[in-house]
Amino acid sequence: MFKKLYLMLALATAFACHAAPAKVNYKHAGPNDLQPDEQQSVVLKYVYTLISDYNYKKVPLNDSVSAIIYDRYIKKLDENHNYLLASDLKEFEQFKTTFDDDIKAGNLANVFYIFNVFQKRYTEYVNFSIAQLGKSFDFSQNETYTYNRDKLPWAASETALHNVWAQRVKYDLLNLKLTGKELAANKETLKKRYTNILSQSNKLSNQDVFQAFMDSFTEAIDPHTNYFNPSNAANFNIDMSRSLEGIGASLLMENEFVTIKSVTPGGPADKSKLVNADDRIIAVAQGKTGEFQDVVGWRIDNAIALIRGPKGTTVRLQLLAKGVSPTAKPRVIELVREKIILKDISAKKETRTYMQNGKAVKIGVISIPAFYLDFADYKAGNPNYKSTTRDVKLILDTLKRENVDGVVIDLRQNGGGSLMEAVELTGLFIKTGPVVQVRDSRNQVEVNKDDDPAIAYSGPLAVLVDRFSASASEIFSGAIQDYGRGLILGTQTYGKGSVQNAIDLDKVITPSLKDKLLAVAGKTKIVATGSQNKFGQLNLTIAKFYRINGNSTQHKGVLPDVDFPSIIPLDKYGEDTEPSAMPFDVIEKSDYTAVGNFTTVLPQLKKLHEDRMAASQSYKYLLQDIEESKKQSGEKSVTLNEQKLKQERDADEQKAFEHNNLRRLALGLQPLKKGQVKPKKEDTDFLQKEAGQVLTDYLTLGSKLTTVKPAGTN
């Protein structure tokens, strides 16, 4: 699919003569006085050029777009109006129509000035909160704390926000008090919490500011054109490939220490027998002779960047075991990095059995969390590369050996991923033919086809989707629907009908310019940091995809054949809620032949489903949950009166406990006693169960209702 995007040569030419940008006098306002660097200025201009020249959606960067970027940036910093003052916003107004010029010039001074003012306010109010803990509190007063302030005017004075934060502290204390602990202990708990918040704020770097602004810039143009700084780019690519290169351990920050929380079975850390859960990493060194870098107090993402790295390379760690004094001598271990496959977030299977007319019907369910592909392994010709299609094919082979009567593909919460995987996965269920059409910015249409006549599974099929099924999920479910190959069940999907190309900026920015940037930073050569690049990645929208029937999924998504209620609010999430989203449109249909048609059987399937839901207590409770969620999302304040809040909490807790047990009974599960922990492997997925039941209904009605008649017959 658009296998050659001619960006590199054009950009290399465009920037070949550009030296590092001139320095500007940055203003200082915040406690850390964060400043942009020359590299970020260059990246900003490169990203602007890429978007203006190659983005599918052509949007001129002008004053009106500048205002949108400004509004998004302010919202990203202080959406709930908790920190900035009306006077701050009045001062910032001067930048509202200058961001377009700043972006073109690579000028980040105004962006950082706004952030530094914000961080100054942030620090002031957290310190104010810590100071409040020295005061006494009366929890018998009829006060109210308004926690949802996004629709309220900006505070007119520091005093006004001090009142808000005083109420916030009181609410936090009241929450802890209702757990039964003493006031002194609660104050100490909050002091640690606020101090930790302040510590995390002080660890923010200019990369965080740059990322926040770049998000505001790119999303103002198009919701799915995104810039990722180096650490975010690494995480994005790990998510796409479902693999990483490192030591095989999950890490968390605890009390300023990078702490190992779990060890991946079979990974380098596990095989060494020298690494244990709760070990603290004190320092990291590259190779057998590299110098150790102390990582105590580091941000977790920066520490991870040092620990990850290309497979086959060596990393050394200084470790302290749990409970050992920080002043003790750490032990030093040496590990060789390997490729780690993230199996827990790959496609999985289960089987469900339904009784229909006295006969057992076995349905296989395959849950697919994303359309992942280890592109590096695929490109290198590794026959065992990790991919959705390869994993699902193995699962289908297993399900066929288990003699399942039908298969449900569960794509709920699947936000998409690899376009190639969407096409190849569809190919497991059809003989050959087009799967998706892709139109580029020149209005040229390319049809992506399945050319492999092999079919991995030819039996009855259903696809379960929800509002968060997007992009590649919509390509797959749309093709399955257009071919009449399977039933689509659930709710209207997200509506993301655009195609992105991942551009490694390290491969775009000219070598000479890289050297100049590193010289400014006091370096002489590019040194790889773990598995990260140096300049980040741009996911650029280059095309729009269409179903083989000619309809775009953009805005409208895929509509199910049988509707299920949506737990996810359709009016709050989805492409049609994004102001900068592209519109729905239609192109000519592809040349394809449907293999089935559910038109005749759908009315019967819908009626059976609706009759079952009308008699289902689980369905009734699901609708109640949806209504309760809507009610809670509309609440904006809470009482600070201890007696009233306790009564409300107790009533809510009792109601939730009773309703949970009623739901369990409706699902055939034993009710729980108060305080009893729910068993881990319980089947509480009512919607997935109903999807299997709809497919079972179809099986009992007979496939004759969906057979496509040969051409020329009546």
pLDDT in tens, 421-437: 999 999 999 999 999 99
Identify which of 67-81, 193-207, 608-622 has the greatest average pLDDT.
67-81
561-594 pLDDT, tens per residue? 999 999 888 988 999 999 999 999 999 999 999 9
Q: Is the pLDDT reported for residue 708 higher than 60?
A: no
Q: Token pair 């920190």 is at which residue?
A: 83
471 an active-site residue?
yes
CB neighbour class for 204 (10 Å; exposed up to 12, middle 13-18, buried from 19): middle
CA distance 509 to 627: 52
Among 496, 534, 544, 556, which one carries the catalytic annotation? 496
CA distance 668 to 334: 52
177 an active-site residue?
no
CB atoms within 10 A of CB 60: 8
First to last CA, the chain: 40
CA triple 419-421-426, angle to 5 deg: 105
Q: Residue 709 is encoded by which pair of tokens?
A: 């008649």
151-163 pLDDT, tens per residue? 999 999 999 999 9
Among 78, 482, 685, 697, which one carries the catalytic annotation? 482
96 an active-site residue?
no
- pLDDT on residue 23: 38
DSSP alpha helices (H): ranges in 418-537?
419-427, 472-482, 511-520
Q: Is the pLDDT reported for residue 546 higher than 80?
A: yes
Q: Residue 592 is encoded by which pair of tokens?
A: 């394809």
**Strand (E) or helix (H) holding 261:** strand 257-263
What is the band of 508 on the pLDDT scale with cuts at 50, 70, 90? Answer: confident
- pLDDT on residue 29: 61
- pLDDT on residue 683: 82
- pLDDT on residue 286: 93
Contact call for residues 120 and 33 (beta carbons, < 8 A): no
Contact call for residues 473 and 493 (beta carbons, < 8 A): yes
Mean pLDDT calculated for residue range 181-210: 91
CA distance 490 to 121: 45
Short-list 113, 119, 128, 178, CA closest to 158: 128
Q: How far is CA 204 from CA 115, 207, 299, 301, 509, in A?
A: 11, 8, 8, 11, 26
Q: Token pair 């994303």 is at which residue?
A: 370
CA triple 47-50-55, angle to 5 deg: 120
- pLDDT on residue 706: 52
- pLDDT on residue 632: 81
Short-list 199, 221, 235, CA closest to 308: 235
Decide which of 231 and 528 is more confident: 231
**Strand (E) or helix (H) holding 620:** helix 617-633
CA triple 258-262-266, angle to 5 deg: 125
Contact call for residues 489 and 561 (beta carbons, < 8 A): yes
CA distance 540 to 47: 9
- pLDDT on residue 19: 31
CA distance 370 to 374: 12
Beta-sheet pairing, 348-356 with 280-286? unpaired
Q: Token pair 């290309």 is at which residue?
A: 310
Decide which of 410 and 681 is more confident: 410
What is the band of 701 on the pLDDT scale with cuts at 50, 70, 90? Answer: confident
What is the band of 419 on the pLDDT scale with cuts at 50, 70, 90? Answer: very high
CB atoms within 10 A of CB 99: 25
Mean pLDDT calculated for residue range 263-277: 88
Beta-sheet pairing, 406-410 with 461-465? parallel
What is the band of 518 on the pLDDT scale with cuts at 50, 70, 90? Answer: low
- pLDDT on residue 375: 84
- pLDDT on residue 585: 95
Contact call for residues 38 and 520 (beta carbons, < 8 A): yes
Q: Is the pLDDT reported for residue 531 higher than 80?
A: no
Decide which of 6 and 430 is more confident: 430
Mean pLDDT calculated for residue range 350-377: 93
Q: Is the pLDDT reported for residue 320 higher than 80?
A: yes
Among 471, 531, 552, 618, which one carries the catalytic annotation? 471
CA distance 367 to 463: 10
Short-list 569, 545, 571, 567, CA closest to 558: 545
- pLDDT on residue 524: 38
613-638 pLDDT, tens per residue? 999 998 898 888 888 888 888 889 99
Decide which of 297 and 72 is more confident: 72
Segments of 185-242 assigned E as strands: 226-228
Identify which of 70-79, 240-249, 253-262 has the greatest average pLDDT.
70-79
Mean pLDDT calculated for residue range 370-374: 91
CA distance 313 to 307: 11
CA distance 116 to 10: 36
Which pTM does this prediction carry?
A: 0.83
Q: Is the pLDDT reported for residue 9 higher than 50?
A: no
CB neighbour class for 384 (10 Å; exposed up to 12, middle 13-18, buried from 19): exposed
229-255 pLDDT, tens per residue? 988 888 888 777 767 788 988 888 887
Decide which of 677 and 546 is more confident: 546
Mean pLDDT calculated for residue range 257-270: 87
- Name the β-bridge partners of 373: 387
Q: Percentage of the chain with pLDDT > 70? A: 91
CA distance 648 to 640: 11
Mean pLDDT calculated for residue range 330-354: 88
Which of 80-84, 274-278, 518-522, 631-635 is predicted least confidently?
518-522
- Name the β-bridge partners of 551: 586
12-29 pLDDT, tens per residue? 323 323 333 333 344 456
Question: Phi, psi (5° rounding) for residue 77?
Answer: -80, -45
- pLDDT on residue 30: 61
Q: Is the pLDDT reported for residue 262 higher than 70?
A: yes
Longest dimension (CA), the chain: 87
- pLDDT on residue 676: 82
CA distance 390 to 401: 17
Decide which of 266 and 402 is more confident: 402
Q: Token pair 């500011």 is at which residue?
A: 209
Q: Label residues 657-694 b or e (16+ Cβ within 10 Å = b).
A: eeeeebbbebbeeeeeeeeeeeeeeeeebbbbbbbbbb
CA distance 634 to 638: 12
